[in-house]
Amino acid sequence: MNRTSETDTTSKPKIGQKGLIFKEPLVFEMGSPGRKAYSLPKSDVPHTKLETLLPPDEIRQEIRNFPELSELEVVRHYTRLSQWNFSIDTNFYPLGSCTMKYNPRINEDMARLPGLAQHHPYTPETFSQGSLQLLFELQEYLKEVSGMDHVTLQPAAGAHGEFAGILMIHAYFEAQGRQRKKVLLPDSAHGTNPASCALCGYEVVALPSNDQGLIDPEKVRELMDEDTAAIMLTNPNTLGMFEKDILEITKIVHDKGGFVYCDGANLNAVVGIAKMGQMGVDVLHFNLHKTFSTPHGGGGPGAGPVGIKKILEPYLPTPVVEHKESRYSLNYDRPQSIGRLKAFYGNFGVLVRAYTYIRTLGKEGIRKVAESAVLNANYIKASLKEDYHLPFPGPSLHECVFNDKYQNKQGVKTLDIAKALIDEGFHPPTIYFPLIVKGALMVEPTDSESKETLDEFIEAMKTIARQTEENPDALHEAPQLPKVTRVDEAKAARHPVLRWKSED
């Protein structure tokens, strides 16, 4: 893959991995009896039998065939295993809705500065002024980017931010003495949205998207009433489309005394260009691990700060980071607060990365993020629109949603296309989401990727479209190149094998 053949002078060498697989046995099949990964000086403590010190059930039984390896063997084994995985550092990772963008190394350097990484969360405020200043300034930057009046950095993820935001809305109606019952949710919403509403005791009312994939203001007018606490929308929505009637929608909701919650997972499309606060949004969560870099995936830590309008300020989670008379402090004395949501003050390391990202890009750089993200997605969309069906062909921003309609005629499904991409050296995009698109393939290239990478991805997608015509059966067998080929996903989910068992 990395070499061009000598006769082929036209094509550029391609970057990426294809069939780069190390042979790797199980760790239990490796090593040799008595081999150790440590060397310690001979102990001068007299030998004592464990049985004289511990009750029998506290003593570990010998594990038969327990692997005995040197340190180098262990390091190589796990390093090789780690390379069976896709990662942003090795491949293009076009998952839609997740914004798998590159995390600049300077973010990691800053998060590892000893003064930040080793700062104990119980250190008194007087000795924590630097860390508190960082938190306070990050709040200010997020306010500026979003047009919101206050920001809390506590929630640990987007879903946690949704929960915090809806709880604040709930607390508001509680304080008014009349709780509302429902929340309106477009049918294209991410699954965490209805879950957050249900956790706060609200009934979810589905709002059907119109034939352009957008919210229909007339539908909102029909369903919005004084028993409805809020509308929870995503803008741009999960089809990557900007809700062009946002001003009308927010007015309808406000006229009935409701709140507008915006799921900000797609802010990568609008940062530095448009402010949700100016569109009538009252609550907005940010996914710092999507819009403001920070590595994510695999359940790693994230952060889901929430921006709110002034009216919800009494309900902010405690403690609130404040800056008064050139001192930074944490305010716990807030009687109407929804309380604490997270140990200490949020996932501090993630907040340092987002702070660094914003400071290194600056105002102009942040705007360029959105411009490049939108340009990249539209380049892919335009390049593949003949090969893959676009169920909602209208203008879209930072991601584009295709489906398998054209390939279906040959019996090739979205799952086959996704698996075939692995053989082509790419991580599959998000599939079968949003739910309103049958057989969805949702591609988000992000701002990080170069035109060369996008061209290779487009070429791979075109190859798969061609294979669909020429040899559709082969696609049912994809992927063939990786160590693990096509798995029975239902079986893998229902009967996972999580523990190695000795043969005997």
Residues that bind ligand PLP (CB under 6 A): 97-98, 157-159, 190, 192, 234, 238, 263, 265, 287, 302, 304
**Closest CB 195 distance from ligand PLP, rounded Å:** 10
State how far the Cα of 413 lies from the Cα of 404, in Å rounded to an integer: 6
Tokens of 373: 């993200």
366 three-class SS: helix
Q: Is the peptide bond before 335 cis (omega within 30 degrees of 0)?
A: no
Nearer to ligand PLP, 287 or 329 (CB): 287
3-state secondary structure labels for all residues of 219-231 = HHHHHCCCCEEEE
**Closest CB 160 distance from ligand PLP, rounded Å:** 7
**Closest CB 345 distance from ligand PLP, rounded Å:** 18
State how far the Cα of 58 lies from the Cα of 38, in Å rounded to an integer: 24
**Closest CB 121 distance from ligand PLP, rounded Å:** 22
Nearer to ligand PLP, 229 or 269 (CB): 269
Q: Give the count of beta carbons closer than 10 Å to the beta carbon of residue 441.
A: 27
Nearer to ligand PLP, 145 or 265 (CB): 265
CB closest to ligand PLP, residue no: 158
Intra-chain end-to-end CA distance of the chain, in Å: 43
Q: Give the count of beta carbons closer than 10 Å to the beta carbon of residue 142.
A: 26
Nearer to ligand PLP, 261 or 328 (CB): 261
Q: Is the peptide bond before 434 cis (omega within 30 degrees of 0)?
A: yes
**What element of type H or E holds 362?**
helix 348-384
Nearer to ligand PLP, 110 or 159 (CB): 159
**Closest CB 244 distance from ligand PLP, rounded Å:** 18
Nearer to ligand PLP, 404 or 444 (CB): 444
**Closest CB 200 distance from ligand PLP, rounded Å:** 16
Nearer to ligand PLP, 132 or 230 (CB): 230
**Closest CB 251 distance from ligand PLP, rounded Å:** 24
DSSP string computed for 240-288: S---TTHHHHHHHHHHTT-EEEEE-TTGGGTTTT--GGGGT-SEEE--H
Q: Which residues pair with 441 in a beta bridge?
A: 402, 431
